[in-house]
């Protein structure tokens, strides 16, 4: 039988790229999807993954992805990882255009891709016994924080999509999973959130002992999908030990209190 095949969105950097690498290490066929062709090409050369350039906020690109995949057979897992935060201003002061972009990529793109690829996942479930739809949300989808605004709202909505989907797909051999990371030190998440302000992005992680990296989240994603077919990790929440909540981050050394 052919290898299992997984589609990973947001594959050009961070958690997505790390997930592509780890699935390839585990012997999966991987299709990495993102907007940036140069980065995808480098990832393809490095890992042997297939890549597909698409802006998942455009239905025509999503349709193109579906047609491309359908021409070469079923898929066995989908990782909806594309997403991001734009700005950290208050609800009062933030730019509605940033909110729109966050809803477009964190919520509506998940709906677009999931709808488009479900028929291929159903085919894949017949071969593998199960197929997976794993969406990367955030602890920002579970806990509101000041400045979270549109990102909180979008990730709460993405989490709702996951919950609805699990109910609607019950009865089919399809697992619906959510991985909700906290603070992950990637090259781009905070840089994008703060519109290229490197100093501000760096300050998010300053003196945080042992932050999480993209590879840590990739481990959780691949592990969840490789569990036996009857096991569904509905929700995996992952934070560094130094983070108790989005707004509660310890800086400096972690040490036991003297009793
Ligand atoms: C990123 C986690 O805590 O910055 O999704 O919202 S947080």
Q: Is 205 a catalytic residue?
A: no
Backbone angles phi, psi at 93, to 5 degrees: -100, -15
Q: Is the CB of 211 under 6 A from ligand 1?
A: no
Catalytic pick from 145, 151, 205, 213? 151
Measured from the CA of 190, which atom of ligand 1 is nearest?
4
Residue of 10, 82, 85 with the most ligand 1 atoms within 8 Å of its CB, for mutation: 85
Is the pTM higher than 0.85? The answer reads: yes
Tokens for 44, please give them.
């393809």
Please name each of the domains of the chain with its CATH number. 5-245 (3.40.50.720)
Beta strand 235-238 pairing with 77-80: unpaired
Query: Which residues have a Cβ under 8 Å from the Cβ of 180 and sit 6 or more positions away?
Result: 136, 137, 138, 139, 141, 142, 159, 235, 236, 237, 238
| DSSP code string of 135-179 | EE--GGGTS--TTTHHHHHHHHHHHHHHHHHHHHTTTSSEEEEEE
**pLDDT at residue 209 in the model:** 85
**pLDDT at residue 1 in the model:** 52
Measured from the CA of 148, which atom of ligand 1 is nearest?
6
pLDDT under 70: residue ranges of the chain: 1-2
Residues 242 and 9: their CA atoms lie apart, in Å, by: 28
Neighbours of 238 (CB within 10 A): 18
**pLDDT at residue 67 in the model:** 98
| DSSP code string of 54-123 | --TTSHHHHHHHHHHHHTT---SEEEE----------TTTS-HHHHHHHHIIIIIHHHHHHHHHHHHHHH
**pLDDT at residue 259 in the model:** 77
């Amino acid at each position: 039988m052919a290898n299992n095949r997984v589609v990973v969105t947001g594959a050009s950097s961070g958690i997505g790229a790390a997930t592509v690498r780890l699935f390839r290490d585990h012997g999966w066929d991987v299709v990495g999807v993102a907007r940036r062709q140069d980065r995808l090409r480098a990832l393809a050369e490095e890992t042997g993954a297939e890549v597909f350039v698409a802006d998942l906020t455009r239905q025509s690109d999503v349709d193109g992805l579906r047609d491309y995949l359908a021409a070469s057979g079923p898929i066995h897992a989908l990782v909806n990882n594309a997403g991001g935060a734009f700005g950290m201003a208050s609800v009062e002061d933030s730019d509605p255009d940033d909110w729109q972009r966050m809803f477009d990529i964190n919520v509506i793109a998940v709906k677009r891709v999931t709808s488009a690829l479900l028929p291929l996942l159903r085919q894949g479930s017949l071969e593998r016994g199960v197929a997976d739809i794993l969406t990367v949300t955030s602890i920002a989808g579970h806990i509101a924080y000041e400045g979270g605004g549109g990102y909180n709202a979008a990730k709460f909505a993405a989490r709702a999509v996951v919950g609805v989907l699990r109910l609607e797909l019950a009865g089919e051999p399809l697992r619906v999973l959510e991985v909700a990371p906290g603070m992950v030190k990637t090259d781009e998440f905070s840089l994008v959130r703060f519109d290229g302000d490197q100093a501000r992005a760096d300050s998010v992680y300053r003196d945080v002992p042992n932050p999480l990296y993209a590879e840590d989240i990739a481990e959780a994603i691949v592990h969840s999908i490789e569990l036996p077919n009857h096991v569904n990790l509905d929700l995996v929440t992952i934070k560094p030990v130094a983070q108790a909540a989005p707004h509660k981050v310890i800086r400096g050394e972690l040490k036991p209190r003297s009793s």
